[in-house]
Chains A and B, each alone.
Chain A
């Protein structure tokens, strides 16, 4: 198939950036979207041009490294997948495809389609963990049964891959879904319950400080999340946050 690509090119954070058009021919529908980008880059390098920079690593939808805003949607048109899992069979011969970086004030562009998402790490660092040290004497794993329903819910929240699609799609660039996923993952388990309120308080505070916007419940994040992280997590987080705020006002 033949495809016209309109790709965002930006040479570093200080460059203004622009859309550049590339014509691609002989694209196999079996190729993944990133393999198509590989082909483009091989052509650009051979011609002596600068290849398009984009983040990727696992290429199987689990590391969260790939990003890209494709035709106005993070991770492209299909539901519940990442960009690396998108295949060219999702497009038609003759299509024009716009490829842009994830945009958010808290995710500055490094180059072309590569953005800096370390703000997510900063949110985790202020409390996204259970405060337990490594030791050879931790209590036996089965000494504390966890209801299967809770464990399963915690797991669902914990499958967030930290890709940032939720932020990129949100008109407020809110990191609520990402933050809530971690807070609920841990709050749902007895091991994480102890610190749940303090954790929520610290992580939400950090999120605000880093320049992520407010949540106005538009729900776009849930729709675009490649892992189907549910909005319910935000409700659960608000509960922990409220509990913590009430306490800290005393």
Chain B
């Protein structure tokens, strides 16, 4: 299909972005205040974009569903943010960060976008420090770095275990400054429910005021969707409870493509599930793998005894422990990338070596680290994480190894965008975790924060200006257009349907059911039969949902069940697309592991001849099969290699 134009500038890789910036069209400062830009989402990507566009003088309207932009899910990121500063003089460079990201992504991302990301990464740190982000420092007063899974340099900047919080507060402060100046109008507790297109261009949104229930029309010359990832399609994930796909999904339904939805990242170090009441999973930062050692017993009897509570980890002799990552991957050991570490844990637990009641847990042991650095040394590094673990599990990790298991954490797939971060719908842009662009089939640790801020602070301000330069004579967009009326009616009809449906089951009932199918059949390992079954099962869940969902309360008021209903309806549709995408991709790469495609040793086997493309799906109608469009990935600067961490 010829509607996927990547719009990558010509020229050598390292010069593309400089050239783009030099040649980009600009909007004259006096024209900017007459141009409206809607930003949906004020996490790192949207918050940074809204603040920067406001500073430039555009008239920005920003939306979030929480009560304040300071609460976006970005706040929960713990470990850190990458940047090619080479402050540690360990051979880091823009090229190396670029290379690591492409390799880490299992050669399924676009070279030019990734190079630009690596290029602007250093600016992010400068910008954040200028804003007063209190990164960790060494005694000499300079910035400290740590290393993160999957790479061999120390390029991760951090603020204890609260890096996301500190970066988001930085963006929130910049945004607050613009709100005060009047360049940004903030709509808290608003949910975007529809994209409005006029003459093929994105010209506004329909949003619901979550306090009053009012359905509102908002117009603009361009719309940015920065609404985060879709991990909650699995019900249980490390995402915040409200994280959802709705804004991205409405973009898809309005003509943008949804790309690579099967690329989902499973994080190896999360606190295991304890029971049916579980509402979300908690991540223990990846940085723990720097000093913790992962193991299960070598003997099944020992695992069973531990699960029954007859033995503890401390009863297992050193020789009876299987440090399976160190055994299988001597070069990287416990620091292999996330997908590799997660699958290895699943492999051991599936084989019967899991160490808790559910059989789905492995140990993360700090005994050696405590012997090496002392308890105080370990506390200085990981104190807050250990404390968090103890609060949740009521076990003391200084004395007893932690129990961990992989959980859904991040979604690499998302709205398809070109080099401008523009979707196939003119004037509709997507940024941050909501787009598909930079991480290929697997994201490296500490690279999502980098991408969100790169998109928001440094990329969108140029690419949106370039787009809007043609819009200076358009004038204000009226919300009286029939397109607004129609979009509002669609939203209203859906709300009416939910309120009037005389169903018997709660929204969570359907969400949990969907999550189970997704986790079992489209989770850490997939196969053809399972995916085909999942598509049928999801169809049944969808039918039952529309027949039997029950929404209490009234529409024109604060109604959290009604909010959830709309989100889950979209998740169900997304689940179907993810299974189709996973079924289509007859290879294993990054976060997508097809059991049919593995080496004799059980490692993932890519198929570069047939699948070195972005799978971008186009919506064809509610009961139609979506259409697959392929963007071929060209590797001109990097040689494709089998990823090896042995």
- How far apart are the CA atoms of A23 and B335 in the complex, in Å? 48
Q: Could you tell me if B52 and A134 are in contact, using CB atoms closer than 8 angstroms?
A: yes
Q: Could you tell me if A148 and B139 are in contact, using CB atoms closer than 8 angstroms?
A: yes
Q: Give min CB distance, A88 to chain B, whole Å.
A: 10
Q: Could you tell me if A81 and B68 are in contact, using CB atoms closer than 8 angstroms?
A: no
Give chain A residues whose Cβ lies under 8 Å from the Cβ of B55. 133-134
Binary A-proximity of B25-69 (CB < 8 A = 1, otherwise 0):
000000000000000000000001001100100000000001111
Residues of A111-149 contacting chain B, CB below 8 A? 111, 114, 116-118, 120-121, 124-126, 128-136, 138-142, 144-148
In the assembled complex, A21 has its CB within 8 A of some CB on chain B: no
Q: Could you tell me if B131 and A191 are in contact, using CB atoms closer than 8 angstroms?
A: yes
In the assembled complex, A50 has its CB within 8 A of some CB on chain B: yes
- How far apart are the CA atoms of A121 and B71 in the complex, in Å? 11
Given A65-B67, A128-B176, A185-B132, verify A134-B557 contact (CB < 8 Å): no
Q: Could you tell me if A142 and B142 are in contact, using CB atoms closer than 8 angstroms?
A: yes
Give chain A residues whose Cβ lies under 8 Å from the Cβ of B552. 44-45, 48-51
Give chain B residues whose Cβ lies under 8 Å from the Cβ of A185. 132, 134
Of chain B, the residue at the smallest CB distance from A64 is B71
In the assembled complex, A186 has its CB within 8 A of some CB on chain B: yes
Q: Could you tell me if A50 and B553 are in contact, using CB atoms closer than 8 angstroms?
A: yes
Given A63-B76, A81-B391, verify A57-B240 contact (CB < 8 Å): yes
Q: Could you tell me if A53 and B165 are in contact, using CB atoms closer than 8 angstroms?
A: no
Q: Could you tell me if A45 and B173 are in contact, using CB atoms closer than 8 angstroms?
A: no
Of chain B, the residue at the smallest CB distance from A13 is B211
> Pick the contact of B76 from A34, A62, A155, A158 — CB < 8 Å?
A62
Give chain A residues whose Cβ lies under 8 Å from the Cβ of B142. 142, 145
In the assembled complex, A171 has its CB within 8 A of some CB on chain B: no
Choose, from B278-286, B426-434, B589-597, the stretch at the interface. B278-286
- How far apart are the CA atoms of A233 and B220 in the complex, in Å? 42
- How far apart are the CA atoms of A189 and B52 in the complex, in Å? 23
Q: Give min CB distance, A111 to chain B, whole Å.
A: 4
Q: Could you tell me if A45 and B141 are in contact, using CB atoms closer than 8 angstroms?
A: no
Binary B-proximity of A38-71 (CB < 8 A = 1, otherwise 0):
1100101110111101011111111111000000
Give chain A residues whose Cβ lies under 8 Å from the Cβ of B160. 155
- How far apart are the CA atoms of A249 and B242 in the complex, in Å? 48
Q: Could you tell me if B132 and A191 are in contact, using CB atoms closer than 8 angstroms?
A: yes
> Pick the contact of B240 from A63, A129, A134, A148 — CB < 8 Å?
A63
Q: Could you tell me if B240 and A58 are in contact, using CB atoms closer than 8 angstroms?
A: yes
In the assembled complex, B399 has its CB within 8 A of some CB on chain A: no
Of chain A, the residue at the smallest CB distance from B559 is A53
- How far apart are the CA atoms of A18 and B55 in the complex, in Å? 46
Q: Give min CB distance, B466 to chain A, whole Å.
A: 16
Q: Could you tell me if B457 and A134 are in contact, using CB atoms closer than 8 angstroms?
A: yes
Q: Could you tell me if B508 and A42 are in contact, using CB atoms closer than 8 angstroms?
A: yes
- How far apart are the CA atoms of A124 and B278 in the complex, in Å? 35
- How far apart are the CA atoms of A162 and B67 in the complex, in Å? 11
In the assembled complex, B174 has its CB within 8 A of some CB on chain A: yes
Q: Could you tell me if B141 and A155 are in contact, using CB atoms closer than 8 angstroms?
A: no
Binary B-proximity of A202-221 (CB < 8 A = 1, otherwise 0):
00000000000000000000
- How far apart are the CA atoms of A144 and B508 in the complex, in Å? 51
In the assembled complex, A87 has its CB within 8 A of some CB on chain B: yes
Q: Give min CB distance, A138 to chain B, whole Å.
A: 4
Q: DSSP majority for the A interface?
A: loop
Give chain A residues whose Cβ lies under 8 Å from the Cβ of B72. 63
Given A48-B552, A57-B241, A155-B159, verify A111-B87 contact (CB < 8 Å): no
Q: Could you tell me if A125 and B159 are in contact, using CB atoms closer than 8 angstroms?
A: no
In the assembled complex, A105 has its CB within 8 A of some CB on chain B: no
Q: Could you tell me if A145 and B141 are in contact, using CB atoms closer than 8 angstroms?
A: yes
In the assembled complex, A95 has its CB within 8 A of some CB on chain B: no
In the assembled complex, B140 has its CB within 8 A of some CB on chain A: yes
Binary A-proximity of B541-583 (CB < 8 A = 1, otherwise 0):
0000000001011000110110000000000000000000000
Q: Could you tell me if B558 and A110 are in contact, using CB atoms closer than 8 angstroms?
A: yes
> Pick the contact of A151 from B134, B211, B557 — CB < 8 Å?
B134
Q: Could you tell me if B137 and A148 are in contact, using CB atoms closer than 8 angstroms?
A: yes
In the assembled complex, B317 has its CB within 8 A of some CB on chain A: no
> Pick the contact of A59 from B141, B180, B280 — CB < 8 Å?
B280
> Pick the contact of B127 from A56, A138, A147, A161 — CB < 8 Å?
A138
Q: Could you tell me if A192 and B132 are in contact, using CB atoms closer than 8 angstroms?
A: yes
Q: Could you tell me if A118 and B177 are in contact, using CB atoms closer than 8 angstroms?
A: no
Binary A-proximity of B379-403 (CB < 8 A = 1, otherwise 0):
0000000001001101000000000
In the assembled complex, B636 has its CB within 8 A of some CB on chain A: no
In the assembled complex, B169 has its CB within 8 A of some CB on chain A: yes
> Pick the contact of A46 from B52, B71, B506 — CB < 8 Å?
B506
> Pick the contact of B67 from A38, A55, A142, A154 — CB < 8 Å?
A55
Q: Give min CB distance, B92 to chain A, whole Å.
A: 14
Choose, from A24-32, A96-104, A236-244, the stretch at the interface. A24-32
Give chain A residues whose Cβ lies under 8 Å from the Cβ of B457. 134
- How far apart are the CA atoms of A69 and B51 in the complex, in Å? 34
Give chain B residues whose Cβ lies under 8 Å from the Cβ of A81. 391
- How far apart are the CA atoms of A32 and B241 in the complex, in Å? 14
Q: Could you tell me if B71 and A57 are in contact, using CB atoms closer than 8 angstroms?
A: yes
- How far apart are the CA atoms of A130 and B276 in the complex, in Å? 46
Given A118-B188, A125-B179, verify A58-B76 contact (CB < 8 Å): yes
Give chain A residues whose Cβ lies under 8 Å from the Cβ of B180. 125-126
- How far apart are the CA atoms of A57 and B232 in the complex, in Å? 12
Most buried by B among A145, A151, A185: A151
Give chain A residues whose Cβ lies under 8 Å from the Cβ of B186. 121
Choose, from B118-126, B196-204, B255-263, B287-295, the stretch at the interface. B118-126
Given A57-B241, A111-B558, A130-B131, verify A45-B137 contact (CB < 8 Å): no
> Pick the contact of B162 from A42, A62, A114, A136 — CB < 8 Å?
A62
Q: Could you tell me if B162 and A159 are in contact, using CB atoms closer than 8 angstroms?
A: yes
Q: Could you tell me if A139 and B130 are in contact, using CB atoms closer than 8 angstroms?
A: yes
Q: Give min CB distance, A118 to chain B, whole Å.
A: 6
Give chain A residues whose Cβ lies under 8 Å from the Cβ of B75. 58, 62-63
Instruction: Provide a sorted-by-A list of 25 A–B residue pairs whose CB atoms are within 8 angstroms.
Output: A35-B277, A35-B279, A42-B508, A58-B73, A59-B241, A60-B388, A61-B388, A62-B76, A63-B72, A64-B70, A87-B392, A87-B394, A111-B557, A116-B67, A117-B67, A121-B186, A124-B176, A125-B179, A125-B180, A129-B173, A139-B126, A140-B126, A141-B135, A154-B134, A155-B160
**Supplied contacts A49-B552, A134-B458, A138-B126, 8 more A-B pairs, CB within 8 Å:** A57-B73, A62-B162, A121-B68, A121-B176, A139-B130, A145-B140, A154-B134, A189-B134
Residues of B within 8 A of A (CB): 48, 51-52, 55, 66-73, 75-76, 85, 87, 120, 123, 125-132, 134-143, 159-160, 162, 164-166, 169, 172-174, 176-177, 179-180, 186, 188, 211, 240-242, 274-275, 277-280, 282, 388, 391-392, 394, 457-458, 461, 504, 506, 508, 550, 552-553, 557-558, 560-561
